Amino acid sequence: MGDGFSHWLPIRDKRNQQQKLVLFDLDGTLIDSIDDLADSTNYALQECGLPLHTVEEYKYFVGNSVDPLIRRALPKEDQDNQELFDRVKKIYLSRYAAHSKDKTKPYPGIANLLSQCNKEGVLIAVVSNKPDDITADVVRYYFPQIHFAATMGQKEGIPKKPDPAGVREVLRLTGIDPKDSLYVGDTWVDMQTAQNSGVKSCGVLWGFRTRQELEDNHADDIAANVKELTEIIFK
């Protein structure tokens, strides 16, 4: 955790270099966090006297990290108001830090899938546009019994997805070849991240976006449920 880039755990078995790696997006893929994201953003907007949004609207605001979320939540006429943006963001970050786990929960079947990956020797990692410290905290909190080869969140100086930097760092840490790796996510950002990284992609339909978006962004596979994702990983 002290390399300034990632939070990682030592690989148990050197033979894992020959095994498959599955990289997961976090929000909308492993955890259903949309209600807490929406609530915290609406709280910040309300504190600033701004109009609120529905949860469905927030599904299209999230995915590119905090700054785009806040920018999209602002009224169009205020999106270039840096002072207002900074104020809303500050309130949001404070609120979300205290309430990020109020309603958030893993999607049904996800913990069992991750456990199966551990048992079968398939390495797993998280690459998210969520802030790096929050990403690590969320993974530890919701999946305390699961071994992750790496967790990678957004931090200053590191390009966010769909830039391949995060995925490439996980590949470096684990020693896995891109052709033996799969990236799993729920948005166009994730499908583009996979393409940019040279790894296969699988879109999931239980998250925040549509099949059409995933298909338009060239998902190699699409899973409608965790059972289908399990079959894709272990086929």
Domains of the chain: 7-32+104-234 (3.40.50.1000), 34-99 (1.10.150.240)
For residue 23, name the pLDDT band (cuts at 50, 70, 90).
very high
The string of pLDDT tens digits covering residues 132-173 is 998 999 999 999 999 999 999 988 877 999 999 999 999 999
Residue 24 pLDDT > 60:
yes
Output 1 or 106, whichever has higher pLDDT.
106
* 25 labelled catalytic: yes
Residue 62 pLDDT > 60:
yes
In the beta sheet, which residues pair with residue 127? 152
The one catalytic residue among 3, 25, 67, 180: 25
Q: Which pLDDT score is estimated for 63?
A: 84
Q: What is the CA radius of gyration of the chain?
A: 17
Q: At what angle do helices 66-73 and 34-47 cross, to 10 degrees?
A: 50
Helices in the chain by DSSP H: which ranges? 34-47, 55-58, 66-73, 82-99, 110-120, 132-142, 165-174, 188-197, 211-216, 226-234
Residue 2 pLDDT > 70:
no
Task: For the chain, give the longest Cα–Cα distance.
Answer: 57
Residue 106 pLDDT > 50:
yes
DSSP 8-class letter at 180: G
Q: Which pLDDT score is estimated for 17?
A: 35
- Cα–Cα distance measured from residue 158 to residue 76, given in angstroms and rounded to the nearest whole number: 28
Q: Which pLDDT score is estimated for 155?
A: 82
- Cα–Cα distance measured from residue 204 to residue 102, given in angstroms and rounded to the nearest whole number: 24
Residue 175 pLDDT > 60:
yes
The string of pLDDT tens digits covering residues 33-43 is 999 999 999 99
The string of pLDDT tens digits covering residues 193-212 is 999 999 999 999 999 999 99
Helices (runs of H) and strands (runs of E) counted in the chain: 10, 9
pTM of this structure: 0.88
For residue 121, name the pLDDT band (cuts at 50, 70, 90).
very high
Q: In this structure, what are the phi and psi dihedrals at residue 28, rounded to the nearest 5 degrees?
A: 85, 0
The percent of residues in the chain predicted with pLDDT above 90, rounded, is: 85
Q: Which pLDDT score is estimated for 26?
A: 97
Q: Which pLDDT score is estimated for 230?
A: 94
For residue 188, name the pLDDT band (cuts at 50, 70, 90).
very high
